[in-house]
Structure 1
């Protein structure tokens, strides 16, 4: 990640969390503490009012009169940016494709509007799936999460699960609040899963600070967690290969379904569409909509899933 990206993340993290230590920033950004102090120095030279509070419960804080306001883009403006990031590619002669996509993700992350109801197609350039992510007030959520961590109180959250397409109530002991790839995440112990999980703030429908006390384990390391689960914050982690029949080949080739898709033409006129998705459930219904004209080649788990559903349909008819 570039220095400018890290500086922007530092501003946003300090602004929202109120007080942040050098160790927390170092773990979140994946740098050492000396680098964090150099970043703070650079911000001060740029007249960004970041100050240091010394002592056991000290850290960095930002002047309350300074505020980096969200872009407050309209749905149409944000959609235009997302579309531009898909059209302007290296293949089309635009050499700053990666930088543009990173910038758009960051703008998207701070342009959440409670009245907007964007879908996953806007987010990834792929499939149309209703997304509950933009409900609620981002600043209120961050404030409540920060408060619960400072007081050692568990959170009760109403969380939207894309792969199950429903809301579930979770009790979470929050360990860290981080900003990655344009999104805010709560990392903490999930009592339902009996494991440390990450939760996107824009998928939390509602949350409430409980009276239940917890203690963050001294064995937990944010740096180790991020190293082991980095793909959760990067996406594009599950490869899906779909075989389409000849009668569908032109239709599939003429449309940009996903930003990382690849198409192979077979000798018999069939084609193979390869792409990477965050969750195979996101693509299941889309593929089944093509009927016999589409066949999942991989992953095997998705093939079996569709097979079971077809068997249930066969029993009904």
Structure 2
């Protein structure tokens, strides 16, 4: 990521969180603390009012009178911008595809207070399921999450799951707020999954700070966690978990099947392969080719599709 992108990200993070430390910024940006201090110095030289609060609960904060306001764009202008980012690609000869998409992400992120929001539109200008979280303003969510982290209190979250296409109530112990590719995420321990999860803020329909107290584990490293789960920030890709038996685990582990794959070993010698894909059909036939040595764990939709196909095969034979 370029220095300009990092500087913009620092401004957004400090504005929304209110107070953040050099360590938190370093972990989020993937740089060292000395680099963070150089970035803060650059912002000050550019007359961006970032200040330092010293002490145990100190950190960086920004003058409340300074704010990166959103552009006053109409619905047609927003729709045109979104459409342009889909049409202008390297395949079509546009060499700045990545830069254009990043610009759209940033406009989307600072347009949250507008009457019209990019995240509320699909490619035709209609309403998209991704906008379900916009029923509650982004600033309110970030404010409540930041407060719960500072007080060590758990959150009760009503969260929309794309894979299961429904809303579920989750109890979450928030560890960190992360800003990636124009979207905000909260990383924390999910009591329902009994694991650390990443939640996209625009999929949170509602949240409430509970009276339950939690402690963030001293062994948790945001940098290490994000390095292992970077595929989550690749847009609306589908997470697929596949269990392979010990009979073919060595073969699966010896091959790079996907750029964002992860493999976890199980006690019985079998393994779990996790991937992020665009379409479940991409992986369906591949998995079925392994027969009884492969089992889809999630998403449920893919399990059902394979089950239906096997039932049809059973009828034929």
Alignment partner, residue 187 of structure 1: 187
Task: Classify the secondary structure of the residue corresponding to 1:134.
Answer: helix
Q: 1:295/1:187 Cα in 2 relative to 1: closer, same or farther (>3 Å)? A: closer
Post-superposition offset of 1:306: 1.7
Which consecutive residues of structure 2, in runs of 5 or more, have no partner in the other structure?
241-274, 289-295
Contact in 1 for aligned 2:79/2:123 (Cα 8 Å) = yes
In the alignment, does 2:167 pair up with 1:167?
yes
Task: Classify the secondary structure of the residue corresponding to 1:35.
Answer: helix
Alignment partner, residue 293 of structure 2: none
Contact in 1 for aligned 2:159/2:168 (Cα 8 Å) = yes
Alignment partner, residue 308 of structure 1: 307
Post-superposition offset of 1:147: 0.5
CA deviations on 1:39-83 (whole Å, 9 max, x unpaired) are 101111110000111111111000011111234644433322121
In the alignment, does 2:22 pair up with 1:22?
yes
**TM-score (structure 2 length as normaliser):** 0.74
Tell me how far apart the structure 1 counterparts of residues 105 and 238 of structure 2 sit (CA, whole Å). 20
Post-superposition offset of 1:279: 5.9
Tell me how far apart the structure 2 counterparts of residues 129 and 279 of structure 1 sit (CA, whole Å). 20
Post-superposition offset of 1:310: 6.0
CA deviations on 1:101-150 (whole Å, 9 max, x unpaired) are 11112222232357759578549xxxx96332432100000000000001
Q: 1:118/1:278 Cα in 2 relative to 1: closer, same or farther (>3 Å)? A: farther
Contact in 2 for aligned 1:239/1:298 (Cα 8 Å) = no
Contact in 1 for aligned 2:50/2:60 (Cα 8 Å) = yes
**TM-score (structure 1 length as normaliser):** 0.74
Equivalenced residues, count: 265
Tell me how far apart the structure 1 counterparts of residues 283 and 59 of structure 2 sit (CA, whole Å). 55
Q: 1:313/1:91 Cα in 2 relative to 1: closer, same or farther (>3 Å)? A: closer
Post-superposition offset of 1:239: 10
Tell me how far apart the structure 2 counterparts of residues 64 and 76 of structure 1 sit (CA, whole Å). 32
Alignment partner, residue 227 of structure 1: 227
Q: CA RMSD in A?
A: 3.2
1:90-105 equivalences in 2 (<5 Å):
90-105=90-105
Task: Classify the secondary structure of the residue corresponding to 2:206.
Answer: strand
Q: 1:45/1:133 Cα in 2 relative to 1: closer, same or farther (>3 Å)? A: same
Q: 1:164/1:75 Cα in 2 relative to 1: closer, same or farther (>3 Å)? A: farther
Alignment partner, residue 153 of structure 2: 153
Which consecutive residues of structure 1, in runs of 5 or more, have no partner in the other structure?
241-276, 288-293
Contact in 2 for aligned 1:239/1:299 (Cα 8 Å) = no
